[in-house]
């Protein structure tokens, strides 16, 4: 049974992703960011999934402090880098890395610190895909919509889990790509005019979609 190491299993989308990977035949091992001590020997990790959903704060740029920027970059970028550096020595040819983050690289109203960190992760994925290609290791990302704080899952979690399953499949010849799974939210013109800081409203979402 192949091993899938996973960070962020307790966060939004995590349960759905873990269940899907188990359905696909993986033994899913939960990890803390940057800590690979629980993993088996070298070359035994077939898939690494790092799930880092982003809670959108809606902070205006003028209100973003150093601590806000530091926290966003630490959580979205530095923890991801530390985890990959810890796990890569235990991955062999044909292994896959799938990051689950947010669509922040597209930009959005408010929370520029999260958007900048998300863009850095997209660049990291493309760079690592090039660097690890000679080793036969593929790296991809699923860019989901922003989430509400302490939400275990959303209606989109099952679809995101299927996307992780696809990118994590040994026969999927894709690397260096960011798969956008945000329910077309990034296409709405209202995204540039109005921040969303509270719970989703299905009626409002539908009205915004018609206003493209």
Residues 20-63 pLDDT 10s = 999 999 999 999 999 888 887 777 999 999 999 888 788 899 99
Strands 45-51 and 178-181 turn out to be unpaired
Residues 146-166 pLDDT 10s = 776 666 777 789 999 999 999
What distance in Å separates the CA atoms of residue 11 and residue 21, rounded to the nearest whole number?
16
Q: What is the mean pLDDT of residues 169-190?
A: 80
Indicate the pTM of the whole model.
0.84
What distance in Å separates the CA atoms of residue 77 and residue 86, rounded to the nearest whole number?
14
And the tokens for 136? 């036969």
Q: How many CB atoms lie within 10 A of CB 205?
A: 15
Residue 33 near residue 82, CB atoms below 8 Å: yes
pLDDT band at 186 (very low <50, low <70, confident <90, very high): low
More confident residue, 192 or 128: 128
Q: What is the pLDDT of residue 116?
A: 93
Residue that the structure tokens 């307790």 belong to: 10
More confident residue, 71 or 190: 71
List all residues 6 or more positions away from 131 whose beta carbon is below 8 Å from its beta carbon. none
Q: What is the pLDDT of residue 191?
A: 56
Strands 96-102 and 45-51 turn out to be parallel
* 5: Cα separation from own chain's centroid: 14
* 121: Cα separation from own chain's centroid: 9
Residue that the structure tokens 């970028």 belong to: 77
Residues 81-138 pLDDT 10s = 999 999 999 999 999 999 999 888 888 778 899 999 999 999 999 999 999 999 999 9
Q: What is the pLDDT of residue 210?
A: 44
What distance in Å separates the CA atoms of residue 113 and residue 134, rounded to the nearest whole number?
33
- Domain architecture of the chain: domains with CATH: 3-210 (3.40.50.720)
């Amino acid at each position: 049974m192949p091993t899938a190491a996973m960070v962020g299993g307790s966060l939004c989308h995590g349960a759905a992703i873990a269940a899907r990977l188990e359905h696909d035949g993986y033994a899913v091992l939960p990890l803390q960011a940057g800590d690979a001590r629980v993993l088996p020997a070298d070359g035994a990790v077939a898939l690494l999934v790092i799930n880092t959903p982003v809670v959108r704060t809606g902070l205006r740029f003028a209100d973003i402090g150093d601590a806000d920027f530091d926290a966003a970059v630490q959580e979205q970028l530095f923890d991801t880098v530390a985890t990959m550096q810890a796990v890569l020595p235990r991955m062999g040819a044909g292994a896959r890395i799938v990051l689950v983050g947010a669509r922040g690289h597209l930009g959005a109203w408010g929370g520029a610190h999260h958007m900048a960190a998300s863009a850095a992760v997209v660049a990291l994925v493309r760079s690592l895909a090039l660097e690890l290609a000679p080793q036969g290791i593929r790296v991809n990302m699923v860019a989901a919509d922003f989430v509400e704080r302490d939400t275990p899952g959303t209606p989109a979690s099952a679809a995101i889990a299927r996307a992780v399953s696809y990118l994590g499949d040994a026969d999927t010849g894709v690397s260096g790509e960011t798969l956008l799974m945000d329910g077309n939210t990034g296409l709405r013109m209202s995204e540039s005019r109005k921040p969303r800081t509270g719970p989703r409203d299905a009626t409002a979402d539908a009205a915004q979609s018609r206003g493209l």
